[in-house]
Amino acid sequence: MTDTLKIVSWNINSVRFRIEIVEQFLREVAPDILCLQETKVIDGDFPAAPFRALGYDHILLHGQKMHHGVAIISRVPLVEDDRFDWQANREARHIGVRLPNGLRVENVYVPAGGDVPDREVNPKFGQKLDFVERMTRWSEGLSVPTLLVGDFNIAPLECDVWSHKQLLDVVSHTPIEVAALDGLKASNDWVDLGRHFHPDPARLFTWWSYRAKDWLASDRGRRLDHMWATADVAKTAIGHTVFEGCRSWLKPSDHVPIMTEFAL
Amino acid sequence: MTDTLKIVSWNINSVRFRIEIVEQFLREVAPDILCLQETKVIDGDFPAAPFRALGYDHILLHGQKMHHGVAIISRVPLVEDDRFDWQANREARHIGVRLPNGLRVENVYVPAGGDVPDREVNPKFGQKLDFVERMTRWSEGLSVPTLLVGDFNIAPLECDVWSHKQLLDVVSHTPIEVAALDGLKASNDWVDLGRHFHPDPARLFTWWSYRAKDWLASDRGRRLDHMWATADVAKTAIGHTVFEGCRSWLKPSDHVPIMTEFAL
DNA sequence: GGATTGGAGG
DNA sequence: CCTCCAATCC
C-alpha cells in the first residue's frame, strides 16, 4: 500500500451557507488538504468546528466580509503560510502554505471580471487581466516545487466550454483572457493537471451557471477551476478527479470540487 | 349535534413565509373562517392554492407590497366585502365581509405605533391613536350584528401583559392607548370575547416577542389580538380559544391564532 | 429576533 | 439563479 496525498480545490460560494455539503464531501472523499475560494466570511466567523470535528486541525484563513475569501484546511501539518495581495487592494484572493515535504500549495481566486469584455468600459475586466499579469510576474520568479490551484475564472481551451463559438465574446473565454492565462502558464512551465489526465479534446467542466433551468440537461459548463503544478511536482501526480456529482447536491455551489492525488 | 361556526384571527407575519404552519393549523383546527393580518404580500402573489386545496374556496384579499395586508379565507360563502381606508393613506389594514346569515366580520390590523409613546417625537404613535379614533367614529355608526377581530396592537388590561408596571411606558400598554381602545369599545358596547370567556384576572396572552431567548420560560407575553362582538352576536358565542401551542411550532409567527366558536 | 426589499456581485 | 448586506419595520 502506497501513501498518497489528495489535494482538493473548490469554489464554495459561501462556506457558511454550504457547510453541510462541505462536510459531506470531506466524509465521502477524505482529502488531505482542501483549498476553498469564495468563503465570503471574515476569519472570526469562519465555521472551524465542523472541520476540526472531521480531523482537519490545520485551518488557515484569508477572509474578508461579504466577498472573496480563501482558506486552506488540512489534516496534515502546514509549516508556513502567506497571503499575497498582488494588486494591493486588500481583496482576499490568495493564501499559500508549505508542507513539511517542501511542497508549496498556492490557492488563488482570480477576479471574475464583470460582464463586458472591454478594459475601457468595464474596469473589472481590466482588473482581472491586471491580476493575471501580476500573478505572472510572481510566477516567473518561482523556483520551488509548487502546486497552484483555485478558481482562475478562465476556461482556456475550446473543450473547456460547452460552445467555443458562443463564448468567444463571453468573459472567461475571450482570447485576451486566454492569452493572459497562457502567459501565466508559460512563465513557469506549469503543467495543467486537469488536461494532463484528461487531455484535449475531452469535455471537462467545473462550473455550471445557476441560471440554467436544467444545468444537467443543457450541460452548458465551463472549466474555470484549475490545478497547475511545477514539472517536478507534476511527475508525482497519479490522478485527477472532477466531482461533477456535487453540482446535484442539495444547495450546491455553482462550482464543483476538483482533486489531484500525488504519490508520496 | 348542533352546528357551530368557528372564526379565527391570526397575525401571521408573512403568509408566504409561514404557509406551512397555516396549513397545519387549518388541518388540525378546521375553522370555518380565517382572518389573517400582516400577510405582507400583494394580492397577485397571495398563495391561494394551499387554501383551496383544504376546502377554503372563498378568499378575499386586501394586500400590499412588503407591509401590512389582511385577508379573509372561508369555507362558507361570503356575500359582500369591503376594504376601508380610514386614514386615507392606502395602507392595507382592513377587510370586511358579510355572511349569508347577515353577520359582518371586520378584520383589522391596527398600526404598531413605533417605539416611543409620544405623539410629538414619534409620528407613528400619533398615527396609531388616530387610527383607533377613526375606527371609533366608524364604530359609533354601526347598527348591524358584527364581529370585529384582528391585531389591535393594544393590551388593555393589567392581566393582558406579563408585567403591568414594567409595560406602563411601553407602546401597546400605555394609558393613552388603553384609553383610546376603551373609547372604541364603548362606542358600540362591544363585548370583548376573550375576556368574556377568560375573565380578568386570568392571564391571557396572544403575542410573545421573537427577541426573548426563551419565550416560553420567561412568558413575557401580551394580549394584542382581539375578537369583539356586538351584544346580539356575543350571545351566540359558545367558546373562545387561544392557541398558545402555535408559538412553539417550526418557524412560528410571534402572534398565535385566537378563535371564537358560535352556535348557529 | 425575524421578515421584506433592493442592489451589488457572481 | 443565488448570496450577502444595508435599511426598514414589527
pLDDT digits (tens, 9 = 90+) for A149-187: 999 999 999 999 999 999 999 999 999 999 999 999 999
Q: Which residue is nearest to nucleotide D5 (CA to C1')?
A: A66
The H-or-E segment that residue B238 falls in is: strand B237-242
Question: Is A254 marked within a binding site?
Answer: yes
pLDDT at B2: 65
Question: Is B68 marked within a binding site?
Answer: no
Q: Where does the pLDDT of residue A126 fall: very low under 50, low under 70, confident under 90, or very high at 90 and above?
A: very high
Q: Percent of chain B beyond pLDDT 70? A: 99
pLDDT at B246: 98
Q: What is the mean pLDDT of residues A204-212?
A: 96
> Which tens digit of pLDDT belongs to each residue from A233-264?
999 999 999 999 999 999 999 999 999 999 98
Cis peptide before A201 (omega within 30 of 0): yes
Catalytic residue among A32, A151, A160, A192: A151
**What rounded mean pLDDT belongs to chain A?**
97
Which strand C bases fall within 7 angstroms of a protein CB? 1-5, 9-10
Spacing of B115 CA from D8 C1' in Å: 14
Shortest-distance nucleotide from A66 CA to C1':
D4
pLDDT at A213: 87
All three cell numbers of B118, joined, read 409620544
Any idea which fold A4-263 has?
A: Deoxyribonuclease I; Chain A (3.60.10)
Q: Where does the pLDDT of residue A54 fall: very low under 50, low under 70, confident under 90, or very high at 90 and above?
A: very high
Give the DSSP per-residue string, chain A: ---EEEEEEEE-S-TTTTHHHHHHHHHHH--SEEEEE---S-GGG--HHHHHHTT--EEEEE--SSS--EEEEESS---EEE---TTSS----EEEEE-TTS-EEEEEE-----SS--TTT-HHHHHHHHHHHHHHHHHHT--S-EEEEEE-----SGGGBS-HHHHTTSTTS-HHHHHHHHHHHHTTT-EEHHHHHS-TTS----EE-TTSTTHHHH--EE--EEEEE-HHHHTTEEEEEE-GGGGGSSS--SB--EEEEEE-
Reference A173, options A160, A184, A183, A185; nearest CA is A160
Note whether B76 and B120 are within 8 A (CB): no
Q: What is the mean pLDDT of residues A212-225?
A: 95
Q: Is the pLDDT of residue A71 over 60?
A: yes
Question: Is B153 marked within a binding site?
Answer: yes
Question: What is the distance of C-alpha A113 from the center of its chain?
Answer: 16
Q: What is the mean pLDDT of residues A215-220?
A: 95
Shortest-distance nucleotide from A253 CA to C1':
D2
All three cell numbers of B75, joined, read 369555507
Residue extents of the structural domains in chain B: 4-263
DSSP classification of residue B255? B
A255 assigned to active site: yes
B225 CB contacts (<8 Å, ≥6 apart)?
B9, B10, B11, B149, B150, B151, B152, B206, B207, B255, B256, B258
Q: How far apart are CA A210 and CA A223, in angstroms?
A: 15
Q: Where does the pLDDT of residue A35 fall: very low under 50, low under 70, confident under 90, or very high at 90 and above?
A: very high
Sheet holding B4-11, edge to edge: B58-62, B70-74, B33-37, B4-11, B258-263, B237-242
pLDDT at B1: 53
Question: Is B80 marked within a binding site?
Answer: no
Q: Is the pLDDT of residue A10 over 80?
A: yes
For the packed helices B123-140 and B175-186, what is the interaxial angle rounded to 10 degrees?
Answer: 10
Q: Which residue is nearest to nucleotide D10 (CA to C1')?
A: B112
DSSP classification of residue B161? B
pLDDT at A264: 86
pLDDT at A1: 54
Shortest-distance nucleotide from A17 CA to C1':
D3
Q: What is the mean pLDDT of residues A95-100?
A: 97
CB neighbour class for B4 (10 Å; exposed up to 12, middle 13-18, buried from 19): middle
A56 assigned to active site: no
**What rounded mean pLDDT belongs to chain B?**
97
Residue in this structure with the C-alpha cell 392606502, named with its chain if needed: B90
HSE-CB of B135 using CA atoms within 13 angstroms:
27
Is B107 in a helix, a strand, or coil?
strand
In window 45-104 of A, residues with CB < 7 A from nucleic chain C are: 67
All three cell numbers of B256, joined, read 398565535
pLDDT at A15: 97
Spacing of B23 CA from D1 C1' in Å: 28
Q: What is the mean pLDDT of residues B96-117?
A: 97
Query: Which residue ranges have CB below 7 A from strand D?
Result: A 13-14, 16-17, 40, 65-66, 210-211, 213, 251; B 38, 67, 111-112, 114, 124, 210
Q: What is the mean pLDDT of residues A113-142?
A: 96
How far apart, in Å, are the Cα atoms of B242 and each of A23, A78, B207, B259? 43, 60, 10, 7
Q: Percent of chain A beyond pLDDT 70? A: 99
A109 assigned to active site: yes
Spacing of B193 CA from D10 C1' in Å: 26
> Which tens digit of pLDDT belongs to each residue from B123-162?
999 999 999 999 999 999 999 999 999 999 999 999 999 9
> Which tens digit of pLDDT belongs to each residue from B201-238?
999 999 999 999 899 999 999 999 999 999 999 999 99
HSE-CB of B33 using CA atoms within 13 angstroms:
27
Which strand D bases fall within 7 angstroms of a protein CB? 1-5, 9-10
All three cell numbers of B82, joined, read 369591503
Q: Which residue is nearest to nucleotide C2 (CA to C1')?
A: B210
Q: What is the mean pLDDT of residues A129-147?
A: 97
Q: Where does the pLDDT of residue B111 fall: very low under 50, low under 70, confident under 90, or very high at 90 and above?
A: very high
Spacing of A40 CA from D3 C1' in Å: 9
Is B53 in a helix, a strand, or coil?
helix
Which positions of B are annotated as active-site residues? Answer: 109, 151, 255
Q: How far apart are CA A58 and CA A144, in angstroms?
A: 22
CB of B44 within 7 Å of some strand C atom: no
Question: Is B151 marked within a binding site?
Answer: yes
For the packed helices A123-140 and A175-186, what is the interaxial angle rounded to 10 degrees?
Answer: 10
Q: Where does the pLDDT of residue B183 fall: very low under 50, low under 70, confident under 90, or very high at 90 and above?
A: very high
pLDDT at B264: 86
Question: Is A11 marked within a binding site?
Answer: yes
Q: How far apart are CA B206 and CA B257, in angstroms?
A: 7
How far apart, in Å, are the Cα atoms of B102 and each of B34, B78, B80, B98? 18, 10, 10, 6
Spacing of A89 CA from C9 C1' in Å: 17
CB of B122 within 7 Å of some strand C atom: no
